[in-house]
Amino acid sequence: MQKALFVSGKRKYLFCADQNGMEIIQPVIDLAVAEKAPYEIYSEDQPLIEWLKKQKMGCYLYVASEWAKLDSLKKIAEEVGFSEEEAQYIGYGKRWAKVFCCRCHGITNVILEENQEIACSECDLLLGISDHYSTLKNAYLGYVAKL
Ligand SMILES: [Zn+2]
């Protein structure tokens, strides 16, 4: 599981998390409190985009959610203008990903795990999953695991 890292010295900290996500970022909230930094926790009584929009410059955002929802939350934050340097996204739970085969370019859906090998759903080739993510194909490159 990913961990949230506290980035100190920000003007204000914003936390957006569901129940399980809250447990992950609680240590960071504690550190923000210890630093006497202002912080705010998102509650669902307003749309996330509205809450983010009314924040001032210099805020640092933490989002913790299950992987399935994390991308859409990230999109909202980016739409409002939070860059990679101004936000951390922490996912938990099962992470579905697409892997494309280096041989037949077929796409296989998998739940990502560490050091995993999968069989291509199209040609059955045994694939390792690389860190190379193709935004074009929306998938990770699978390479030949064994000859
Ligand atoms: Zn294949």
Per residue in 34-61, pLDDT (tens digit) is: 999 999 999 989 999 999 999 999 999 9
66 CA distance to ligand 1 middle (Å): 29
Q: Report the distance separating Cα 57 and Cα 37, nearest Å.
A: 15
144 CA distance to ligand 1 middle (Å): 10
Residues around ligand 1, an ion, CB closer than 5 A: 101, 103-104, 106, 120, 122-123, 125
What is the pLDDT, as a whole number, of residue 37?
A: 96
pLDDT score of 7 more than 70: yes
For the chain, domain boundaries: 12-92, 96-144
pLDDT score of 1 more than 80: no
Tokens of 97: 């990903």
125 CA distance to ligand 1 middle (Å): 6
CATH topology of domain 12-92: Rossmann fold (3.40.50)
Phi, psi dihedrals of residue 52, rounded to the nearest 5°: -70, -40
Helix, strand or coil, per DSSP, at residue 111: strand
pLDDT score of 114 more than 90: no
Phi, psi dihedrals of residue 117, rounded to the nearest 5°: -120, 140
Q: Report the distance separating Cα 147 and Cα 120, nearest Å.
A: 14
pLDDT score of 72 more than 80: yes
pLDDT band at 120 (very low <50, low <70, confident <90, very high): very high
